[in-house]
Structure 1
Amino acid sequence: MKLHTNTVHGVITAIDEIFHQNKYADKVIERTLRSNPKWGARDRGFIAESVYEMVRWWRLINEVSPSDDLYHLFGTYWLLQGQELPSWREFKGIDPRDVENRYQKIQERAILQSIPDWLDEMGANLLGDKWEKELDTLNQEAEVVLRVNTLKTTRENLMNRLAEDGIDTYTPTGYKDALVLAKRQNVFRNPAFKEGLFEVQDASSQLVAAALDVQPGMRVIDACAGAGGKALHLAALMENKGRILAMDTEAWKLQNAKLRARRDGVSIIEPKAIEGNKTIKRLKESADRLLLDVPCSGLGVLKRNPDTKWKLTPESIEKVQKIQEEILQNYPSMLKPGGIMVYATCSILPTENEMQIAKFLASEKGKDFELIEDKKVLAQESGFDGFYIAKLRKKESSTPQESETAPETE
């Protein structure tokens, strides 16, 4: 494959922003691709793929590169892809044989899999024999998965509609609303997307809304809604009948949810910012279903967000675990007795998943709940993102805390 100076420069500029200015890869790539309207689909694909792959293998590339010069790092990445380098002055000093020799000498798993040492140690301790294969899988490029908007079309009709536009898809087993692209391409410009016929949502993520067992007419709270992806799925499952309260502590995220709902033909989602504990208390025992898609480390989605592993620290994971615990202690009060709650993360770490649920159930507030089932989705087993989904029921006998309602006695 022939390299072109302007597209390689685009990759170099993006990498500089991601690692030297600490910006998020997806946003950087988006801006980079907008910076030159003359780039065609092939150019844009080359830039996006090269940036993501360099981010994914950043530690390994640095280990075998002759220097930390960004062009040397790109040239090393290009050689590791089995390609040949042109005789540009920017690549002077890179000897393919030296790169290969340095690569062959590496024995450490953390370097070969291109992750921080602390993360390799943590993963091995928590996942044991499954850790190495999970790393292999998470270092592969993510497939593009669509969720069919069943309010507007069927999976078969969408599949045929996309095929007419040259977009081939297949139906993965066990995911009734999912279509997987046979080949990566930008689907956001397709008329079917603009008409609200589908959303881009990983297959594992689609399991979350399904676990809530919603029915038309229910009152549902999505308490960590963000941009509203799972709330939109819930609305489709509810046939756009009932009410969904899409909540988040960051109100700006909910604006995107409103725009997406309009495009998808959804009218039952009501955005609501969480302004402290008062918001939660006002909604006490008001929901038939409660979704807690909590903040997490994101280690299950490294396929699509490879820069996550370079931004995480042991301290940041510990901090997010405390947030998860706080949410589990406070938010379940919004669920009616007899209602169902789903706790979900896009993490593969037991400390964010089943251990959090066990801690909650053993707590005073967790005694009103029972675990129905939980699902640990590893990327190596599903082929999609790593996820955790716990389904709990609030016991019918649960009553408000006496201290909140009983009058004081002398």
Structure 2
Amino acid sequence: MPILNLNEERNTYLCTMKLFPNTVRGVVQAIDEIFNQNRYADKVIEKTLKSNPKWGARDRAFVAETIYEMVRWWRLINEVSPSKDLYHLFGTYWLLQGNKLPDWREFNGLDAYKIKTKYEKVKDIRALKQSIPDWLDQMGAALLGDKWDEEIDTLNQQASVVIRVNTLKISREELMNRLAQDGIETYSPKGYKDALVLAKRQNIFKNQAFKDGLFEVQDASSQLVAAALEVEPGMRVIDACAGAGGKSLHLAALMENKGRILSMDVEGWKLQNTKLRARRNGVSIIEPRVIEGSKTIKRLNESADRVLLDVPCSGLGVLKRNPDTKWKLSPESIEKVQKMQQEILQNYASMVKPEGLLVYATCSILPSENQLQVEKFLSSEKGKDFELMEDQKVLAHESGFDGFYIAKLKRKAK
């Protein structure tokens, strides 16, 4: 069995892979960009694949997954590698999975027995074994207690590919059958009425059903957010931190494309993507609007039946799919984002009509970004008009999907 926390199917696939100089070079160059030039892993992978159009599907999958897994296990790999040479680091990663290395000069000095011996010495130190910064291990243990061990173990596993059925165009069963005709097997997870999980990871964006707007890629936990707003056709809804509009699209489907959704963000370029996605999804009720300052919010005072605050956060609940997050975060950056979260709650809650609903959501597992923020808001002057209806603390090891927090607040009648 491999030492690293990789699923069996994937490890079998990688063990049968023969290493080729050009693909290994692609991985090594990408790792250099991510860690030595401080670039985002997803952007680097996208660029790497675009720069090598002659690679086949198998090579592309190998490169993308190896980069992500090396990023995920970066601290552990560095701890047991004999040097910081990038080829040595790749070779160490490969050996840690129980694979054999080819006789290349780049791998001279790598000894599988020595690497395994080093691993045995550090495997009982959680921060090293789980390949996370010490401060994160301490923070996670302090805030999550006994649940931290299992949670960080789960967050180090590869994420499933989950799609959300666009019910404006097709039913879940119909989409499941259509994808099956294309050789794509899926299953419907219990408790997520619009979700399908792919039985096997693959690039689903090339499928015609995606181009036809029949589904969006969206984790099952993320799909709980729009559902929490209890929207109905004809309502006026504000998605105040909309980003690229994934949750706005889900809301539009739940509203049967009737009513009005203001998709707002401080970053105008993100909203451009919302327009394109809405067109593909057959959605006409979304109106993108840039938040240019406090005046934008004041003009919308008490104007919405529902307001969604899917606030910026640490992203610790989605480490499965964004493993480089843990190397970019710091206690200071988390403190900074917590301040921003409270400011958004304080300033944006006024857009909810009396007796309307406000949903506060994060893709974090830290109570300091979640229920503690809601408690702080409710005890403040601006929060006294609201009451907490319910909240969901979704942990990855309990749900099998991303870690999320969703709080539903109701504004009191005047």
TM-score category by the smaller chain? over 0.9
Please give the alpha-carbon distance, in whole angstroms, between the structure 1 residues aligned to 2:173 and 2:185: 12
Please give the alpha-carbon distance, in whole angstroms, between the structure 2 residues aligned to 1:46 and 1:193: 23
What does 1:329-408 correspond to in 2, within 5 Å?
329-397=346-414
**Residue 312 of structure 1: aligned partner:** 329
> Which of 48, 66, 79 pairs up with 2:82?
66
**Residue 162 of structure 1: aligned partner:** 179
Please give the alpha-carbon distance, in whole angstroms, between the structure 1 residues aligned to 2:310 and 2:161: 21
Deviation, structure 1 residue 159: 0.5
Q: Percent same amino acid at aligned positions?
A: 79
**Residue 206 of structure 2: aligned partner:** 189
Deviation, structure 1 residue 213: 0.2
Q: Does 2:232 align with 1:212?
A: no
Higher mean C-alpha deviation, range 26-35 or range 368-377 = 26-35
Q: Does 2:110 align with 1:89?
A: no
Q: Does 2:26 align with 1:10?
A: yes
Residue type at the aligned position of 2:296: T
Q: Does 2:298 align with 1:278?
A: no
Please give the alpha-carbon distance, in whole angstroms, between the structure 2 residues aligned to 1:153 and 1:8: 42
> Which of 30, 38, 58 pairs up with 1:22?
38
Q: Does 2:55 align with 1:55?
A: no
Please give the alpha-carbon distance, in whole angstroms, between the structure 2 residues aligned to 1:114 and 1:256: 34
What does 1:287-306 correspond to in 2, within 5 Å?
287-306=304-323
Please give the alpha-carbon distance, in whole angstroms, between the structure 2 residues aligned to 1:44 and 1:170: 25
TM-score w.r.t. the length of structure 1 is 0.96
Please give the alpha-carbon distance, in whole angstroms, between the structure 2 residues aligned to 1:145 and 1:178: 7
Please give the alpha-carbon distance, in whole angstroms, between the structure 1 residues aligned to 2:206 and 2:48: 17
Secondary structure of 2:368 counterpart? helix
Q: Does 2:131 align with 1:119?
A: no
Secondary structure of 2:409 counterpart? strand
**Residue 402 of structure 1: aligned partner:** none
Please give the alpha-carbon distance, in whole angstroms, between the structure 2 residues aligned to 1:266 and 1:136: 39
Please give the alpha-carbon distance, in whole angstroms, between the structure 1 residues aligned to 2:275 and 2:218: 17
**Residue 6 of structure 2: aligned partner:** none
Secondary structure of 1:303 counterpart? coil
Q: Deviations over 1:300-328 (max 9, x none)?
A: 00000000000001000000000000001
Deviation, structure 1 residue 265: 0.4
Please give the alpha-carbon distance, in whole angstroms, between the structure 2 residues aligned to 1:27 and 1:41: 19
Please give the alpha-carbon distance, in whole angstroms, between the structure 2 residues aligned to 1:40 and 1:240: 40
Please give the alpha-carbon distance, in whole angstroms, between the structure 2 residues aligned to 1:63 and 1:214: 50
Deviation, structure 1 residue 298: 0.1
Q: Deviations over 1:192-246 (max 9, x none)?
A: 0000000000000000000000000000000000000000000000000000000
Please give the alpha-carbon distance, in whole angstroms, between the structure 1 residues aligned to 2:117 and 2:398: 34
Please give the alpha-carbon distance, in whole angstroms, between the structure 2 residues aligned to 1:82 and 1:194: 39
**Residue 7 of structure 2: aligned partner:** none
Can you give the 5+ residue segments of structure 1 that lack an aligned partner in the other structure?
398-410
Please give the alpha-carbon distance, in whole angstroms, between the structure 2 residues aligned to 1:60 and 1:207: 34
Please give the alpha-carbon distance, in whole angstroms, between the structure 2 residues aligned to 1:133 and 1:344: 23
**Residue 276 of structure 2: aligned partner:** 259
Residue type at the aligned position of 1:100: K
Please give the alpha-carbon distance, in whole angstroms, between the structure 2 residues aligned to 1:22 and 1:163: 40
Please give the alpha-carbon distance, in whole angstroms, between the structure 1 residues aligned to 2:163 and 2:383: 36
Secondary structure of 1:129 counterpart? helix
Q: How much is the aligned-residue C-alpha RMSD, in angstroms?
A: 0.5
Please give the alpha-carbon distance, in whole angstroms, between the structure 2 residues aligned to 1:136 and 1:325: 30
Q: Does 2:344 align with 1:327?
A: yes
**Residue 136 of structure 1: aligned partner:** 153
Please give the alpha-carbon distance, in whole angstroms, between the structure 2 residues aligned to 1:252 and 1:37: 28
**Residue 406 of structure 1: aligned partner:** none
Please give the alpha-carbon distance, in whole angstroms, between the structure 2 residues aligned to 1:154 and 1:29: 33
Please give the alpha-carbon distance, in whole angstroms, between the structure 1 residues aligned to 2:201 and 2:262: 34
Runs (4+) off by over 6 Å: none
> Which of 242, 262, 275 pairs up with 1:225?
242
Q: Deviations over 1:267-304 (max 9, x none)?
A: 00000000110000000000000000000000000000
Can you give the 5+ residue segments of structure 2 that lack an aligned partner in the other structure?
1-16
Q: Does 2:186 align with 1:172?
A: no
Residue type at the aligned position of 1:302: L
Please give the alpha-carbon distance, in whole angstroms, between the structure 2 residues aligned to 1:346 and 1:165: 32
Deviation, structure 1 residue 2: 1.1
Secondary structure of 1:23 counterpart? coil
**Residue 407 of structure 1: aligned partner:** none
Please give the alpha-carbon distance, in whole angstroms, between the structure 2 residues aligned to 1:167 and 1:35: 28
Please give the alpha-carbon distance, in whole angstroms, between the structure 2 residues aligned to 1:320 and 1:36: 37
Deviation, structure 1 residue 108: 1.3
Please give the alpha-carbon distance, in whole angstroms, between the structure 1 residues aligned to 2:30 and 2:137: 27
Q: Deviations over 1:67-125 (max 9, x none)?
A: 00000000000001110000000000101111010000013110100000000000100
Deviation, structure 1 residue 39: 0.7
Q: Deviations over 1:313-367 (max 9, x none)?
A: 1000000000000001100100100000100000000000000000000000100
Please give the alpha-carbon distance, in whole angstroms, between the structure 1 residues aligned to 2:35 and 2:211: 34
> Which of 100, 109, 120 pairs up with 2:116?
100
Deviation, structure 1 residue 37: 1.1
Residue type at the aligned position of 1:188: F
Q: Does 2:52 align with 1:36?
A: yes
Secondary structure of 1:110 counterpart? helix
Q: Deviations over 1:11-63 (max 9, x none)?
A: 11111111011111111111111111111110011001100000000000000
> Which of 237, 260, 271 pairs up with 2:254?
237
Please give the alpha-carbon distance, in whole angstroms, between the structure 2 residues aligned to 1:289 and 1:342: 8
Secondary structure of 1:188 counterpart? helix
